[in-house]
Chains A and B, each alone.
Chain A
Amino acid sequence: DAGVTQSPTHLIKTRGQQVTLRCSPKSGHDTVSWYQQALGQGPQFIFQYYEEEERQRGNFPDRFSGHQFPNYSSELNVNALLLGDSALYLCASSLRGGGSNQPQHFGDGTRLSIL
């Protein structure tokens, strides 16, 4: 049973560039959430995708956008990268309607470094 997979593992970009991160949810899950985790901090919610639509969004600028595909996989896009975007980006999947006690399952994340 494959868990949540993310790619790439590490990425180095320069300011102003654009980046795309990818996530495949755990088998049987239909909902994908993205989180940003700065060093020494807890994960911060970016947005959640369900049925190929953004259902909820955290306090992140429009530079952060996403997409969900029919197979439930998802992409996170960040434009005009800033130094402050350096962080671990975590993808979490869950089953919507699976009950409020269903936990989100996290991938190992993509470590993004901005130079």
Chain B
Amino acid sequence: GQNIDQPTEMTATEGAIVQINCTYQTSGFNGLFWYQQHAGEAPTFLSYNVLDGLEEKGRFSSFLSRSKGYSYLLLKELQMKDSASYLCAVRDSGAGSYQLTFGKGTKLSVIP
């Protein structure tokens, strides 16, 4: 089975840095994705990790530790438009498996 945990809500100040954690317990692992979802909109892809370490993409970075079943998304220089839900998703292992299992999402509120 799959179990993915994220904090329900977080609040951070404009211009600051925020780290959103994700822990997972899965029967198989073939990569971890982070998606951003604004209210009423589609999830949009942010990052992908399959090997341990840090992936950096502009203001967004994502880290993975497979041995610990742990990932985080780091958002720098926060902007008001970063207020959204952030979804952590794990892909199953196994040939041809493309199923994503999502956490419940972390609602981030950026305040002035």
The answer to whether A and B assemble together is yes
Residues on A facing B (Cβ under 8 Å):
4, 31, 33, 35, 40-45, 48, 55-56, 58, 90, 92, 94, 96, 100-101, 103-109
B64 in the interface (beta carbon within 8 A): no
Q: A100-B50, A101-B50, A109-B42 are in contact. Are A43 and B30 (CB under 8 A)?
A: no
Report B85-109 residues with CB < 8 Å from chain A CB: 87, 89, 91, 96-105
B60 in the interface (beta carbon within 8 A): no
What CA separation (Å) do A103 and B91 show in the bound complex?
A: 10
Number of A-B contacts (CB under 8 A): 60
Other CB < 8 Å A-B pairs besides A35-B102, A48-B99, 16 of them? A4-B42, A31-B98, A40-B105, A44-B102, A48-B98, A56-B97, A90-B42, A92-B100, A96-B96, A103-B48, A104-B98, A104-B100, A105-B45, A106-B42, A106-B44, A108-B42
Q: A100-B91, A106-B42 are in contact. Are A58 and B50 (CB under 8 A)?
A: no
Q: A100-B31, A103-B45, A106-B42 are in contact. Are A41 and B101 (CB under 8 A)?
A: no
Q: A100-B30, A108-B41 are in contact. Are A45 and B99 (CB under 8 A)?
A: yes
Encode contact with A along B24-41: 1 for CB under 8 Å, 0 otherwise: 000000110101000001
| Option from A4, A41, A45 in Cβ contact (under 8 Å) with B100 | A45
